Structure 1
Amino acid sequence: MSVEIPQLNPEILSSIEALKASPKMAKALQIAFDEAELGMKEQIELCEIPAPTFEEAKRGQDIVRRMKAYGLTDVSVDDIGNVIGFRPGKGNGPVLAIGAHMDTVFPAGTDVTVKQEGNRYFAPGIGDNCSGLRALLQIIRSLNEADIQTQGDIYFVATVGEEGLGDIRGSKHFVATHRIDGFIAIDNTEIGRILRGAVGSHRYRVTIEGPGGHSYGNFAEVGSAIHAMCIAGNMIAHLKTPKDPKTTFTIGTIKGGTSVNSIAPTCTVEIDMRSLNNEALLKIESEILACFDKAVAEENALWNITDPAKQVHWKKENIGNRPAGMRPADCPVLQVSRSALEVLGQKLTNYGVSSTDANAPVSMGIPATCLSSGGIQYKCHTVNEYFDKVDIHLGPQLLILTAVGLVGCEGFKAILPKHE
């Protein structure tokens, strides 16, 4: 890692060491180890329930059933499809949410049958994020079977719409409708990966439209949507962004026109812009959108087209808004999760940034991070995705120790501050 790793708070580290050694926590961690095969079976079963973004309901109902079977009595599905299980604490402690997304990037009809070769499992979505759902459910089982009574409350959330155009809508809706003091997303499998920041993204679908016409007969009489889009693309390609905070952009898709011998009546692009800083994100957004104003004006002026009916025009549609943010080094969620990783004997391999369900709480100043589920995932977001069942107990163990450290339990004070 190239980033400088800040010091751990010695008091927090000492507390997490003591918590790990306590009898009930030792039992919970052992349960996570012993139930690895059960967890893997569950991961397979969930994977084989299709859950494209915006179509997660069937998988969600299965998770409702499992949460109830594992001892949660307060389980519901909210207005947009998030499955929310509530585990109340004993006292007036902080409120923590732990979330794993249910959706996959694959369209309806994709074969999600899991094929096994030894400890390797092949299927679209087997790692991302059925592994995260496995870990989420294992936390519930371990806490209940070990009879750990936390001081603070814990929400267990299986979210909708994390991927692509889902735009983390499940996470955004949950944090907007619940008062929480901390949040942990479960995504990825690299056990040493703890996210300190959230990469924000703004996405637009921009369409340039005109009357179109014959490539010869209407030449110079009407504007071309594709020509105007090419002018805009050239302008965008020459924009400069800061390296710190890292800010990026790309025209990810382009489509338009009707035939090789037509003046294009329409052309559409989809644009992705990303940054760790919301101000930098808004700046590049403003610069990119201004290019379309200039481009259509230039295309119309090239042929001296003044009749609005013959000119090209543009319109935009916002198709993604993931807020950005960074957490300070002393963030309790970061300190506790790093301490838990250390006392479990694992190395911090990736103290980085990404775009996950944690973006929403991070952008609101809520202590939050994203932790991993264990195992090893490969070729995510492809139909050739596969997952290696290697030390899959480590993800749930890290999450259990972190969660209880944050909300507290008998003999251990909550480390996560409670906001009044």
Structure 2
Amino acid sequence: MKTEFSLAQLADPDIAEADKILRACVHCGFCTATCPTYVLLGDELDSPRGRIYLIKEMLEKNRPPTREVVKHIDRCLSCLACMTTCPSGVNYMHLVDQARARIERDYARPLTERALRAVLGWVLPRPQLFRWSMILARFGRPLAALLPAPASASPGLLRRIKAMLALAPGRLPKPGPAGGTVFPAQGERRGRVALLQGCAQQVLAPRINQAAINLLTRHGIEVVLVKDEQCCGALTHHLGQDGDALARARANIGAWLGEAERNGLDAILVTASGCGTVIKDYGYMLREDRDFAAPAARVSALAKDITEYVGGIELQPAQQRRDITVAYHSACSLQHGQKITHAPKELLSKNGFVVKDVPESHLCCGSAGTYNILQPDIASRLRDRKVANIATVKPDMIAAGNIGCMVQIAGGTSVPVVHTIELLDWATGGPRPGLS
């Protein structure tokens, strides 16, 4: 794609990077076939190619984003299926992230929308606040059915509030262990890792990290929950609130590398693949920061999805047969963001589960961080499509590697939705998941 940035514009490292990304695009349109919003809506501007044109014009002309541009960028799930499909290697992720930051800086959203985004960016990364919000939402759930339907296809505040209330669980589990806790290896210590505590996940499903801790310590790996760790920054990053996201990244880099220097770390393990994709991108996000560029790259190199790390351990399965059919949902952030596609399924198969691929597995389930709140109508359609595809393989359980996907899919099916690591923990001596 031809670009026309001035030399003054290209002096900005972000614009120079955008220019490089835009020039890689050859307009082939392969991305449209795997873009969830284009598949649903059929609008070229709701495809990666269409959005690339909108972003190019906005950046080249250095104009404030228009309402039309914002509408189509907001509809992007950042599922990154387009990057898997693209034959030219266009890094759409970094381009759309830059567009979101520009929109957040230069576009005046309606007051109610600004307020909602500010609340999401403040509450979700803070587990204590998020827990209290979920408790309050439980009392508000009966009111959700009384809220009126939206008057148009554009989701208004009431529709979004209804979506938030619908996502709240009927009850909350007890909090998991606090940061600073160390779980010793059983028997001879073979390794030492940090385990990301997460923000939403530690409130909604602390059992996931507990399953990871059980499996790892059972196989000789010491696990530490690093004190002073924060939210990874993914939630605010995708809201365009880059100042907050980068501050969290810097704080985490300091906490993790401090732990590594004091006691040693083989890896920083992540059980929420949306978080993992962003942490692995810290090196890029902080590339212009003189003080943090090298430490950020080091942290990105240490970060691993839990299945990446467990794939290198010789697991010891329990002596019992498990004729359990598992539909494996490949989270977008795992298959497209981190390019991890085979390892989770191979681990499950090797440990006694009958693993079934889900038709249209490349399409997003509609969770996408805060997307199912901000774009509830599109998200609901994608969830229903995903659940219908899962139903065709008649599973006993559904496995996924991201808490957002798990909550989203569970909202449309009665089949237990569990994390991959919970099944692997069960296979190696842990409790059966999906019973609560």
**Higher strand proportion, which one?**
1
TM-score (norm: length of structure 1): 0.25
TM-score (norm: length of structure 2): 0.25
Higher relative contact order (CA 8 A, sep 6+): 1
